[in-house]
Chain A
Amino acid sequence: GAGVSQSPSNKVTEKGKDVELRCDPISGHTALYWYRQRLGQGLEFLIYFQGNSAPDKSGLPSDRFSAERTGESVSTLTIQRTQQEDSAVYLCASSLDSSGQYNEQFFGPGTRLTVL
């Protein structure tokens, strides 16, 4: 595909359940980012992957959140024991690389997570 894709587009879950969100970056993009966007608020950085380097996990809000990336392809964001405050849109973005700060991030459409 031409752009970043995310699945599912919507996820409704019960409090305490685990959820897994998927991101397919643009082919050839080595950098991948996850953000959280709560209703009416800006983007909150969660985690960043660059090639085979150790990911920057500094934005993950708690140990219930984790993410993996296989090489330079698909990434999954896992939220364990979901809480109502986890309800948000989770956005994934990829860029060609992050060796400089000049590279545009291309965003996916997001996954809207609702925790009941």
Chain B
Amino acid sequence: GNSVTQMEGPVTLSEEAFLTINCTYTATGYPSLFWYVQYPGEGLQLLLKATKADDKGSNKGFEATYRKETTSFHLEKGSVQVSDSAVYFCALSESGQNFVFGPGTRLSVLP
């Protein structure tokens, strides 16, 4: 079956540091890939997505590139802020019917 693996957290960074959260996936077909974010006390919300190989999703300074050859969708940001502290979930969907989520990576950014 399909699956998503993320780097284990928590990840603690200082403000303005570079962020990478690794995500790799296993899928039988050609899924769309997503990053969702859950800020403290809030519900999950879509951060960015990519629907085919080599697509780059971007939002709020975050980027992720769909790499079919390495089955990866790593999340990056050049300079994190305290307000980026949240839990980040990588997810995939092949049909739109069943989304598979990774376990989440908690990010803490210190001032």
Contact = CB atoms under 8 A, between A and B. Distances in A.
Given A42-B89, A42-B102, A102-B32, A107 B95 contact: no
Interface residues of B, number: 24
Given A43-B89, A43-B101, A107 B96 contact: no
A91 interface: yes
Contact of B96 (A101, A106, A109): A101
Contacts, number: 63
B51 A102 contact: yes
A59 B46 CA distance: 22
**Dominant SS at the A interface?**
loop
> Chain A interface: which size bin?
20 to 34
A93 to B, nearest CB: 8
**Chain B CB within 10 Å — which of A45, A50, A108 has the most?**
A45
Contacts of A110: 43
Contacts of B91: 43
Return the 5 tightest CB-CB contacts between A and B, nearest first.
A98-B96, A42-B103, A43-B101, A101-B96, A101-B32
Interface of B: 31-32, 36, 42-46, 49, 51, 89, 91, 93-104
